[in-house]
Structure 1
Amino acid sequence: MSKAAAVDRPPVPVAVRPRDERGAARAAPVGSARPGARERPPSAGPGPAEPGSAERRRAERPAAKRQAAERRPAGRSPRLSNRVAIGLAVRTALVVLLAMVTVQGLLAVAGVAAMFQGGEGGLLSWLAASVPVMAAAVLAAWWQGHRLARRLDRIGVTVDRARQTDAADGEAVPAGDEIGRLADSVRQLADSVAERERRLIASALSDPLTGLPNRALLADRIRQTIALSQRAGVQFAVAVLDLDRFKFVNDTLGHSTGDLLLKEVARRIRRSVREADTVARIGGDEFVLVLSGDAEAARTVSRAILEAMRAPLRHKDQLIDIGVSIGIAMYPAHGQDEVTLLRHADSAMYRAKRARSGEHVFDGEGSELQRSYLSMLGEMREALRNGAFVLDFQPKLELASGRIAGLEGLVRWHHPQRGRVPPGEFIPFAEQTGFMREITRSVVEQGARFSKALADEGLDLCVSVNVSALDIENDAFARTVMEVLRKYPIDPRRLCLEITESGVVSESDTSMKNLRAIARAGVRLSVDDFGTGYATLKQLQRLPVNELKIDRSFVTGIQKDRGNMTIVRSTIELGKQLGLKVVAEGVETAQEMRCLARLGCDEIQGYHLARPMPEAEVVGWLRMRQALYGSSPSR
């Protein structure tokens, strides 16, 4: 074979380990093979040499020499050892000779010159006596230099290995003298540099709070998964997970509790996904998952995560409800790159949050919804200026007397293009953006104004309005309520503020201060949606509340569901023990109303009694009700 043909032969593949998280490639152990490379069949014995094998062996010799040099153990550096030893021996011999001449000179000056009295024979005797001493000194110097060179060589090997690997793994050098201490310092320096580099790499590619991959590493993982999916012709999912009410947890319980919640969420997600899946945190309360398999497999993992989040997080004496919303986008159906997949998964997540469904697979409609959200804040500001946020009122019936005991004002948005926008579409968005505080002030003002209007009509009714849990965390909330009462001078007992259970159990200093100030002013307070949160008996005893409202989920079909009946009966008994009025909302049938009356419930509210109605229709409905039933119980 010609030399040109030997050059054209493809080089022998060298197995290389995959890059570790530091990005440094390492040599594979003997016997490992590169993925995708064909294995050479084992030889059954010596056979005929291949054509050109001699040329190939000659080409491989330099590489073999380099590998042998790399495998050479520490301390084997003969050229360095000889140079240091010889140099040290020569210097030692010169020093010894100079010392001997100096000593003899001093003795001669002192009058002791025996070696010169003998003439040439005395000088030769002196030289003969000096040679063994000089030889012994030279040999000792050479041995010490050789030993010193070997130890320095070991230090050099340690430095080289530290420069090429993650840590200094050179041979140990005894630390009994200065050289040993120098070697130990070199190893410590190499360890420190390697550890600092590891920390830099980790901080650049992982989230410091949860230890999960960050946005940069996530993008790389998605790109790699796309490349693998293209070659294999398979699909995978990108899921965006966002916590519900996380801002409320941060505002009420502090950022340290929020960090604890994020760590717990990360732990539960990792426990719910499969080994091949990727979990990353890209900022705030948002996590991203890369899930192998089809859409059904992704939904199965999502349901497992939702199930894992059902158990509340216990922090000190506080139970924190963990709610999440998950949006799913599939490759290649919903995007061909990581940017598009993340955008569509984020859109699906907002659909899940709006529908309170837990998880949602992208269907193309979410993009339009997100674009509408971009303009919603400006539209809400315009609606507030134009009075487009109005209250519809739903009556509450006192079961013992059959009287209408009060009304609850439910906020509605009359949009010029969209018509009546349901509260579920704008309330979560308003809470996330902080605009809910502006809406709440308008709602409280409308409730107080209508209560005064009812009093002017001779109707002694309490008007309830809903306030956000974020409002009671506002330092100025109690002052805002007092300003409304001064603007509309009414009996404070005719106004009731309903706050969700998750809002009143925070027990932060600000919320407790606001609630106590409002209660001292005479305004009634109600715990809305009771049973869906985690309020304890101790917390209810401390709160200045007057009323418990049982959530509709426990009222529906109560006469058939023994579990719901047990919960409602226990809630009613708890309310009576605490001296609180108990109201059941969501009553839609006469059977539910009768069952609640037998259990001792104080008031009911729901479609069975009346649907929410505009303010202009309330007084007429009340007059008609009074004319038909008077003060007799409703049937």
Structure 2
Amino acid sequence: MTDAPASWLQRWRDRLQRRLSTRLVVASVALLVVVQALGLLSLRASIDRNARQSIQQELALGERLFQRLLEQNGQRLRDGAGLLVADYGFRSAVGSRDLETIASALGNHGRRIGATHALLLDTDFALQAAASPPEDAVMPALQELAQRAQSSTVGDGVAGGLVAIDGRIHQLVMVPMRAPLVIAWVVMGFRVDEGLVRDMQRLSGLQIALQTRASASADWLTTASSLAPLTSAALGGPASMRPGSASSVLIAGQAYGMRVAPLDADNEAPLRALLLRSVDEAVAPYRSLQWTLLVIGLLGTVALAAGGLWAARRITTPIRELSGAAQRLAAGDFEHPVPVTTRDEIGELAQTFEHMRTSIDAQRKEVTRLAYWDSLTGLPNRAQFREAVSAALAQREQSAPEATAAASTRTAAILLLDLDRFKHINDLLGYATGDQLLREVGERLGAVIGARGFPMARLSGDEFALLLPEAELGEPMAAEIASAFERPMQLGEQSVDLRASVGIAHYPGHAREVDELLARAEVAMYAAKRGSSGVMVYHEQLDSGSSQTLSLLSDLQRAIGAGELRVFLQPKIALGSGELVGAEALLRWQHPTRGMVPPLDFIPFAEQTGFIRHLTLWVIDEILRISPQLAAQGHALSLAVNLSTRDLMDLELPDKIGERLARFAVPPEALKLEITESAIMDDPQRAESVLARLHAMGLPLSIDDFGTGYSSLAYLKRLPVKELKIDRSFVMHLDREDGDHKIVRSTIDLAHTLGLEVVAEGVENLAIWQVLRGLGCDLAQGYFVSRPLPADQFEAWATAWPQQRERLLGQPEAALLK
């Protein structure tokens, strides 16, 4: 009796193992479980990593937001103090030393802007009057503020900043009262307390703590915090963290992402803010997602097992009869019908085999047709065109083997036609419209050929080809085609202006093989497209140029990593003062075998391929590395980088530049971006969006090569640019061309009316310098000042510029600058 159940279980297990359907279901479920487990583990790791990266981005944004709040508070103090020092009654009270009236006015103005401190100091920074008696620790803080006011380089003597008073952080501003010399100082201040912390938390969703310390070796004390009291009490903050740095910390048993934001310019950082984001809170929504995915995965596994078992039970009939039929079909026997003996799934499979047998001949014929005809236009395709050309050329070879040299060089021609701006039309109007356009192109070409019956084909994309029996027909036929495409194409309600570039290759003068003829016609076509000439006949110089371009572009892809690129800087000089104020970054390529490759040999092709984006970011990285080095030597300059059309179309460009500014710790005003008019006009809306974001980041923008593009003043008025550069073609002959003089003068007046600075490129001599200075131009750039210099030589040139300026300009002009 005990052996019976075991024997029954053994037989059942053997039966399951023999069943193919059972093995398939078990294998499928096991595979699904493994895949889901690996996916969940990978998702968990990815969520944690992405959440921490997102926290650091939120903290960096929160730091900028907090600094902005402090700047707004400081501006409110400056405005309030500025109104007070301009008030006639208050000035009279100060002049008469009416301390009671002064204290009352200080109190009224302080309450109006919510200031906690309102004081009047004499010229020695001694306290004269106050809205309320100040704390004892206020005066040392005011002495520090007075030193900032005396050393202020702003020009108005206003000083402000954050200071620690009795262990609390205060924001103070000191404004001079002049008559016309300084007769007193007005001090306004806020206490940076829980109110600002709560405002910051509401705006950013981050936790914030304000800390101060008495000295570099002292412990940090938290003066205000948005954290819970217990958590806030456990917050000390690592003293070793540098300002602007970020890390993960454990506070009261909870993980936080933390960023240290300095609140003053002192390297010892006696004041700082800690921005915190709870890791658990950031990850919590994703944890819920994980549980949801787990439940869905379990339900999917159950559903797969149930569905698999149900489907497996349906496969119960042997399939041997179908095996023989499949073998016959594989051998090419389509005469014998496939037997259909059941009405279930196997029967359906048998019916499918039968349908395959009866339709396979038709399919093979259709495949043959598709192999030689273009399904969109109904024209022959590349394969059929090649065969037609090969047959025609072979017939010519057989019919005239002894042709003279003159006749044998021009006996046939291939025309290769490619549509201009087709990709733009495709992207703008959609692929359906693009297909309709290609059909219309085929019909129009057929109308041009008419009854002449020249072989014609669509090779690929928007490329079409014609075979002409006589080479002399090539250029007239190309002109006839170009004339036909001058008429706009009507696609529904949309009228499309279309042009075509045509390349011509002659047989046998240019090539004797079909593929060579097509390749050389294509080279000529691309040359016509680049030169906007419409039609181009192949010649050898075109092919060598193409090969060199391919070689240069392949080398360019490794040039960045190989350290072959160089940044050159060309100075910009203020015409009014003669001071060095900036420079333009220019890219050079030091090729290991070709030497210094001119920019025109690789920049246009980098723009065509999109590789220009990598070059632009490399130049920006180099400029941001160089800028702090120049500033450390006393040359705080605005360094300009050119943006191409491809760069302006990149919606992620502002984020990429912002990340680099933060990484190199360079202020936005140190990096200027120059944009050509043509780059803006390619897609004005998209360009305006990108430029607006760059402007909002604080990056100064400049219009380069002004006057050579096709932009309208309406766009120029809307763009957030700070500077306009006059193209060198208008400047180089300014001292002797009256027309250029009028254009430059009008451009300067227009730019100044719009509030823009003007830079003149191509300043080649002292006479042009003097003319520009007389016209009120702001900045000059050109060989008269300096050729572009390698970055490692620019610092020495900048140091020697004051002495070189005297030599270049001469004593009278140099005296005018002083």
Normalising to structure 2: TM-score of the pair? 0.43
8 Å CA contact 2:638–2:672 kept in 1: the answer is yes
8 Å CA contact 1:235–1:293 kept in 2: the answer is yes
Read off the aligned partner of 2:568 and give its amino acid letter: D
Deviation digits for residues 591-622 of structure 1 (CA, Å, limit 9, x no counterpart):
55555445544333333332222111111222
- How far the C-alpha of 1:628 sits from its partner, in A, is 2.4
Task: Say which SS state the counterpart of residue 445 (structure 1) adopts.
Answer: helix
- How far the C-alpha of 1:458 sits from its partner, in A, is 0.8
Name the residue aligned to 1:500: 676
Name the residue aligned to 2:648: 472
Name the residue aligned to 1:611: 787
Pick closer, same or farther for the CA change 1:472–1:556 going to 2, 3 Å. same
Task: Say which SS state the counterpart of residue 493 (structure 1) adopts.
Answer: helix
8 Å CA contact 2:623–2:639 kept in 1: the answer is yes
Name the residue aligned to 2:583: 407
Q: Which runs of 5+ in 1 are unaligned?
A: 1-200, 314-319
Name the residue aligned to 1:421: 597
Pick closer, same or farther for the CA change 1:421–1:573 going to 2, 3 Å. same
* Corresponding residue to 2:760 among 569, 584, 594: 584
- How far the C-alpha of 1:476 sits from its partner, in A, is 1.7
Q: How many pairs are equivalent?
A: 431
Q: Distance in 2 between matches of 1:353 and 1:589?
A: 38
- Whether 2:750 is the aligned partner of 1:574: answer yes
Tell me which protein shows more strand as a share of its residues: 2
- How far the C-alpha of 1:404 sits from its partner, in A, is 3.0
Q: Distance in 2 between matches of 1:394 and 1:297?
A: 49
- Whether 2:798 is the aligned partner of 1:625: answer no
Bigger drift between 528-537 and 320-329 goes to: 320-329
* Corresponding residue to 1:548 among 699, 713, 724: 724
Deviation digits for residues 93-144 of structure 1 (CA, Å, limit 9, x no counterpart):
xxxxxxxxxxxxxxxxxxxxxxxxxxxxxxxxxxxxxxxxxxxxxxxxxxxx
- Whether 2:707 is the aligned partner of 1:526: answer no
Bigger drift between 295-304 and 231-240 goes to: 295-304
- Whether 2:535 is the aligned partner of 1:398: answer no
Name the residue aligned to 1:61: none
Pick closer, same or farther for the CA change 1:488–1:289 going to 2, 3 Å. farther
Task: Say which SS state the counterpart of residue 619 (structure 1) adopts.
Answer: helix
Task: Say which SS state the counterpart of residue 431 (structure 1) adopts.
Answer: helix
1:3-402 to 2 correspondence within 5 Å? 215=382, 233=407, 234-235=410-411, 238=414, 282-284=459-461, 298=475, 328-348=504-524, 362-374=538-550, 376-402=552-578
Q: Distance in 1 between matches of 2:413 and 2:751?
A: 48
- Whether 2:659 is the aligned partner of 1:483: answer yes
Q: Distance in 1 between matches of 2:736 and 2:481?
A: 30
- How far the C-alpha of 1:540 sits from its partner, in A, is 1.6
8 Å CA contact 1:325–1:352 kept in 2: the answer is yes
Pick closer, same or farther for the CA change 1:426–1:283 going to 2, 3 Å. farther
Deviation digits for residues 223-278 of structure 1 (CA, Å, limit 9, x no counterpart):
69868987793456556566788768877x67579959988x979x98xx999999
8 Å CA contact 1:548–1:575 kept in 2: the answer is yes
8 Å CA contact 1:249–1:257 kept in 2: the answer is no
Task: Say which SS state the counterpart of residue 407 (structure 1) adopts.
Answer: strand
Name the residue aligned to 1:446: 622
8 Å CA contact 2:553–2:602 kept in 1: the answer is no
Where relative contact order (Cα < 8 A, 6+ residues apart) is larger, the structure is 1
Q: Which runs of 5+ in 2 are unaligned?
A: 1-368, 401-406, 490-495
Pick closer, same or farther for the CA change 1:599–1:484 going to 2, 3 Å. same
Q: Distance in 2 between matches of 1:312 and 1:571?
A: 37
- How far the C-alpha of 1:371 sits from its partner, in A, is 4.5
8 Å CA contact 2:574–2:780 kept in 1: the answer is yes
Read off the aligned partner of 2:722 and give its amino acid letter: N
Q: Percent identity?
A: 38
Pick closer, same or farther for the CA change 1:477–1:415 going to 2, 3 Å. same
8 Å CA contact 1:455–1:461 kept in 2: the answer is yes
Q: Distance in 2 between matches of 1:381 and 1:300?
A: 40
8 Å CA contact 2:371–2:383 kept in 1: the answer is no
Q: Distance in 2 between matches of 1:467 and 1:510?
A: 14
Task: Say which SS state the counterpart of residue 470 (structure 1) adopts.
Answer: helix
Read off the aligned partner of 1:542 and give its amino acid letter: R
Pick closer, same or farther for the CA change 1:282–1:519 going to 2, 3 Å. farther
Pick closer, same or farther for the CA change 1:570–1:388 going to 2, 3 Å. same
Q: Distance in 2 between matches of 1:438 and 1:609?
A: 31
Pick closer, same or farther for the CA change 1:335–1:534 going to 2, 3 Å. same
Q: Distance in 2 between matches of 1:454 and 1:488?
A: 14
Backbone CA RMSD of aligned residues: 5.3
Read off the aligned partner of 1:610 and give its amino acid letter: S
8 Å CA contact 2:735–2:741 kept in 1: the answer is yes
Q: Distance in 1 between matches of 2:743 and 2:736?
A: 13
- How far the C-alpha of 1:532 sits from its partner, in A, is 3.3
Read off the aligned partner of 2:590 and give its amino acid letter: H
Pick closer, same or farther for the CA change 1:530–1:330 going to 2, 3 Å. farther
Name the residue aligned to 2:609: 433
Task: Say which SS state the counterpart of residue 391 (structure 1) adopts.
Answer: strand
Deviation digits for residues 424-471 of structure 1 (CA, Å, limit 9, x no counterpart):
222233233332222221111112222222211111321111122112
